C-alpha cells in the first residue's frame, strides 16, 4: 500500500508544477490586422501588421484621442511573408502572436499577381484562425490600415464589421482554401478608401473606408471586380458561399395605366441552387426567395399600395433577376465560377463532371446555361395600405 500511496502523492505534486512554457500577456503583441502588398523591388512582398497598444487602449479614451492612436502599424519588405514577419519581430520588444488576427487585406496589385504564397502561408500556421476575414484594397493594402476608426477602437474592428454585418460578402481564409482545393472561383469584399474633408481628427482629414463591390478570383488570381449593384446581386445569389446580403433595398417603377414607383426593403432573403441534365448538357437553376416591406409608394392612379401588390411583386422579381443575371454573366466573362456550380454538378452528376472537369473554366465561361428565377412576397405595406 505504501508504494501506491507514494505514487498518488507524486502525481498530485506533478500537477502543482505549473506550465513550464507559459508566456505572460505583457510579453506578447497581438496582431489583429495584416496587410499584404507587392514590394518595391521585384520578387518581394510588403507586409504590414496592425496591433493594439495596451498602454493606450483604454475604454474611457476614444481612439485617436489626446493620448494618440491606440494601435501601431509596422511594415517590412522581404522576399517572403515569413521573412517579412521575422524582420518585424526584430524591431519589437514583445513576441508576435497571430492567434487573434481578425482580418487580412490584400492590395490590388498583389491580388492581380496571385495570392498563392499567402494561402500557402495560412495553411502552415496552425495558430492562425482559418475563420479570419479576407478582403481586397483598391490600391495599397496598408493604406486601409490608416483609416480613422471613428466608431471603433481599432481599424481591424471596422473591417471585420463590414463582413459580419454582411454588407456584401463575408469571405474567410477557409472559404478561399476550400474553393482552391476544389478548383473553383471565389469572391471577396473590394474596399474603397479616401478622405472625408468635412471631418477632422487631430487636425487631419478623417481617412474613410467602405465597401465598393467585390473582387473575383480564380486559380488564386484576381480576374475582375464588380460594382456595388452587381456585387449586391451576386452576394444574394451566392447565399451560403459567404454571401447573405443584409437588408437589400430595391426601387421599381411602372407605367401601365399610371406612373408609379415603390421601394421594397427585404428583411428576409435566400437562394437555392440546383442542376438538371438535358440532352444538351447541364442546366443550372438559381431560385431567389425573399420577403419584403414596402417603404415607399407613389402612384397617380391608385390610393392604396395593396391595389398594386401584383405589379410591385412582378417588377421586383424582374428587377432582381435581371441584376443577378447580369452579375453572373460578368463572372462568366471573367472565367470565375464564384457560385461554385462545378461542385454542384460534381455532387449531383459525377459522371458528367468527369467529362467537363478538365475544361470547366472554359465551359463555364462560354457554354454554361444558368437560369435565374425569383419568388417574392410582400408582407408589409406599412400603416397606410
Last residue of a domain, one of 167, 191, 226: 226
Query: Is residue 233 in some structural domain?
Result: no
* Ramachandran area for residue 18 (φ above 0: left; ψ -120 to 50: alpha; else beta): left
Question: 167 with 75, same domain?
Answer: yes
* pLDDT top residue among 50 and 15: 50
For the segment 104-134, what is each residue's pLDDT rounded down to a tens digit?
999 999 999 999 999 999 999 888 999 999 9
User: Which CATH number belongs to the domain containing residue 365 in this structure?
Assistant: 3.30.300.210
Last residue of a domain, one of 201, 226, 251: 226
**Owning domain of residue 138:** 26-226
Question: 344 with 373, same domain?
Answer: yes
pLDDT at 63: 47
Bridge partners (DSSP) listed for residue 193:
209
- The residue with cell 400603416 is 383
Q: Which of 20-29, 113-122, 188-197, 276-285 has the lowest mean pLDDT?
A: 20-29
Query: Is residue 8 in some structural domain?
Result: no
Question: 37 with 165, same domain?
Answer: yes
Question: 278 with 330, same domain?
Answer: yes
Tell me the backbone φ, ψ of residue 45, rounded to 5 degrees.
-130, 140
* Ramachandran area for residue 253 (φ above 0: left; ψ -120 to 50: alpha; else beta): beta
The total number of structural domains in the chain stands at 2
For the segment 51-98, what is each residue's pLDDT rounded down to a tens digit?
776 655 554 445 444 455 666 788 999 999 999 999 988 887 778 888
Q: Which of 43-57, 61-75, 224-238, 321-335 has the lowest mean pLDDT?
A: 61-75
Last residue of a domain, one of 197, 226, 255: 226
Question: 198 with 264, same domain?
Answer: no
Amino acid at each position: 500500500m505504501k508504494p501506491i500511496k507514494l505514487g498518488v502523492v507524486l502525481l498530485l505534486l506533478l500537477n502543482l508544477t505549473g506550465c513550464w512554457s507559459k508566456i505572460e500577456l505583457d510579453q506578447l503583441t497581438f496582431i489583429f490586422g495584416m496587410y499584404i502588398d507587392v514590394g518595391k523591388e521585384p520578387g518581394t512582398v510588403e507586409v504590414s501588421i496592425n496591433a493594439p497598444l495596451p498602454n493606450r487602449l483604454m475604454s474611457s479614451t476614444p481612439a485617436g484621442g489626446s493620448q494618440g492612436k491606440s494601435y501601431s502599424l509596422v511594415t517590412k519588405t522581404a522576399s517572403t511573408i515569413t521573412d517579412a514577419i521575422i524582420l518585424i519581430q526584430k524591431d519589437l520588444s514583445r513576441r508576435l502572436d497571430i492567434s487573434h488576427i481578425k482580418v487580412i487585406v490584400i492590395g490590388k496589385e498583389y491580388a492581380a499577381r496571385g495570392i498563392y504564397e499567402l494561402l500557402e502561408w495560412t495553411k502552415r500556421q496552425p495558430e492562425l484562425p482559418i475563420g479570419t476575414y479576407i478582403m481586397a484594397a483598391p490600391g495599397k493594402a496598408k493604406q486601409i490600415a490608416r483609416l480613422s476608426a471613428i466608431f471603433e477602437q481599432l481599424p481591424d474592428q471596422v473591417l471585420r464589421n463590414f463582413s459580419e454585418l454582411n454588407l456584401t460578402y463575408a469571405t474567410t481564409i477557409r472559404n478561399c482554401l476550400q474553393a482552391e482545393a476544389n478548383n473553383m472561383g471565389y469572391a471577396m469584399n473590394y474596399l474603397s478608401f479616401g478622405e472625408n474633408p468635412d471631418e477632422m481628427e487631430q487636425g487631419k482629414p478623417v481617412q474613410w473606408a467602405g465597401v465598393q463591390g467585390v473582387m473575383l478570383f480564380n486559380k488564386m488570381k484576381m480576374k475582375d471586380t464588380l460594382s456595388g449593384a452587381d456585387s449586391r446581386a451576386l452576394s444574394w445569389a451566392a447565399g451560403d458561399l459567404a454571401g447573405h446580403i443584409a437588408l437589400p433595398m430595391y426601387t421599381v417603377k411602372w407605367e401601365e395605366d399610371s406612373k408609379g414607383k415603390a421601394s421594397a426593403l427585404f428583411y428576409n432573403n435566400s437562394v437555392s441552387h440546383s442542376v438538371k441534365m438535358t440532352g444538351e448538357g447541364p442546366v443550372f437553376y438559381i431560385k431567389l426567395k425573399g420577403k419584403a416591406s414596402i417603404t415607399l409608394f407613389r402612384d397617380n392612379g391608385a390610393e392604396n399600395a395593396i391595389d398594386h401588390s401584383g405589379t410591385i411583386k412582378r417588377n421586383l422579381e424582374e428587377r432582381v433577376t435581371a441584376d443577378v443575371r447580369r452579375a453572373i454573366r460578368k463572372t462568366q466573362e471573367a472565367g470565375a465560377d464564384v457560385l461554385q456550380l462545378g461542385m454542384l454538378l460534381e455532387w449531383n452528376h459525377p459522371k458528367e463532371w468527369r467529362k467537363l472537369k478538365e475544361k470547366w473554366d472554359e465551359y463555364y465561361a462560354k457554354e454554361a446555361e444558368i437560369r435565374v428565377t425569383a419568388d417574392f412576397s410582400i408582407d408589409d405595406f406599412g400603416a397606410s395600405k
